[in-house]
Structure 1
Amino acid sequence: MRLRIRRTAWPRPALILTDTPQPSCPLCLGEGGHNHDYGDHNGEYAGTDWEPCTCWDETRRLVLLPLPPRRSGGYSDEPPF
């Protein structure tokens, strides 16, 4: 398990401790998964799906510090704790 600290905005702003992909993984080459493009019934491009690799669990996270929401006019005057 390789841990790092990240800022997330969903479901609310917070600093989280999260797992990262294995850099030496032969399946994803350290990317953490693969993108798959798909098409609609006419064969036109309709979007991209993300398939995570088995070398990490992207749902494994721990909230370290909840943060106040950002204000559109600049910095918040509310303390984060």
Structure 2
Amino acid sequence: MLRLRIQLTDWPRRALILTDTPRPHCPQCGGEGGTSRDYGDPVTGEYTGTEWEPCPCWDDTRRWLLLPLPRLPRRRDTGSDPWAPDGYSNEPPF
């Protein structure tokens, strides 16, 4: 059974997607979608990183595009002071 939700994504372009979510009462992951395991250097025992093991109750690659969102043009700043004569300020930038 799928547990779907709507999500906003920015890559490869802005869009609304429909994605699967982890089973909320999964006995293996507790609804987290997987378990993290810290590991260290076998010689010194110092922390080296964290490994993520996904749970079989969830497929994080299962996604469907719902609506591509348009790219909004950026505002262009003219950089001039509109209250200065000729649009340029003669005041030092304090």
The two structures have a TM-score, normalised by structure 1, of: 0.73
Structure 2 unaligned regions, length at least 5: 75-94
Aligned residues between the structures:
72
How far off its partner does 1:56 sit? 1.1
Cα distance in structure 1, aligned partners of 2:14 and 2:41? 35
Instruction: Flag the structure with larger Rg.
Output: 2
Q: CA deviation at 1:36?
A: 1.0
Map of 1:7 onto structure 2:
8
Aligned to 1:29: 30
% identical aligned pairs: 67
**Structure with more strand by fraction:** 1
Normalization by structure 2: what TM-score? 0.65
Higher relative contact order (CA 8 A, sep 6+): 1
In 2, the alpha carbon distance for the partners of 1:15 and 1:8 equals 6
Q: 2:50 aligned to 48, 51, 62, which one?
A: 48
